Amino acid sequence: MNTPLLRCQDVSKTFRASQQKLEVLNNIEFHIYSGETILLFGKSGQGKSVLLSMLCGLDSPTHGDIYFNGVYLSSCTLKQLETIRRTQIGIVFQNLNLIPSWTAVENVEAALEDILTSPKTKRKCAQALLEEMGLADRLNHLPNELSMGEQQRVAIARTLIREPKLILADEPTGDLDAETAEQIVYLLRSYMQKTNAALFVATHGSFPDMHFDRTLILNNGTLAQLSNKLQKETIKSTQLKNNLSLTLSP
């Protein structure tokens, strides 16, 4: 069997609040292979964003180990983690993090800042990717001049332009209408098919009908995997809360 691109072993995360311990994640274990798609369901406040932050080295587990591409993340310096995120892990943040004073093409171009090539080449690459995403007439628009779906596509273009091996997407379709959400899913799927990248999507509710290799449920700090039958039912469901009571396979 191929070596996992990412391994998450016995990972727990505890925060301290008012001198009390708050355990958000407890003994989380799973792996991700290149070309694989994983959907993570969990109601708001269950720790999905915390988990994604640890998977890319923005945060550290209280206990347990995370390996990416054979590298033990907890052994890395901040600079090494930054390099991994910049070159190998693409993150689609829930709040997008677009720079409001920069145009769409400038926001995407910024991801190539450290690439040793001419500004003209960087601009050409950013423009080509945005045009591929249907934003040819929005290149010079500021984020507040774009629709939410257009902003999401700019954020995804900024993520994909570095051709990451792993894409972590936090609620990538949460605030979008059904048609726009399907467009976002299509863009992510197309990239994966071309590059054999892995995709890990976290969501708290409905998600466009898309084949996922595995569907995981995060509930009360623990992780469970749905069977194939329940996976299909969950993806088609419009509310996660109705599925959390279902019998889950280990």
47-89 pLDDT, tens digit each? 999 999 999 999 999 999 999 999 999 999 999 999 999 999 9
**Predicted local distance difference test score (pLDDT) of residue 208:** 61
Considering only CA atoms, which of 53, 95, 37 is closest in space to residue 216?
37
15 domain-assigned: no
**β-pairing verdict for 214-219 and 222-225:** antiparallel
85 domain-assigned: no
Position with higher pLDDT, 155 vs 247? 155
**Predicted local distance difference test score (pLDDT) of residue 246:** 39
Asked if residue 195 has pLDDT above 80, the reply is yes
CB 154 within 8 A of CB 98: yes
229 domain-assigned: no
Q: Whole domain around residue 105: which residue ranges? A: 90-163
8 domain-assigned: no
Average pLDDT over the chain reads: 86
**Predicted local distance difference test score (pLDDT) of residue 239:** 43
128 domain-assigned: yes
CA distance 33 to 166: 9
43 domain-assigned: no
Distances (CA, A) of 209 to 173, 206, 231: 12, 9, 11
**Predicted local distance difference test score (pLDDT) of residue 241:** 44
**Predicted local distance difference test score (pLDDT) of residue 245:** 42
**211-246 pLDDT tens trace:** 788 889 999 899 988 755 445 554 454 344 444 443
Q: How confident is the model at residue 185 (pLDDT cuts 50, 70, 90)?
A: confident
Cβ partners under 8 Å of residue 30, min gap 6 = 8, 38, 214, 216, 223, 225
Count up the domains in the chain and report the number.
1
Q: How confident is the model at residue 188 (pLDDT cuts 50, 70, 90)?
A: confident
9 domain-assigned: no
In this prediction the pTM is 0.84
227 domain-assigned: no
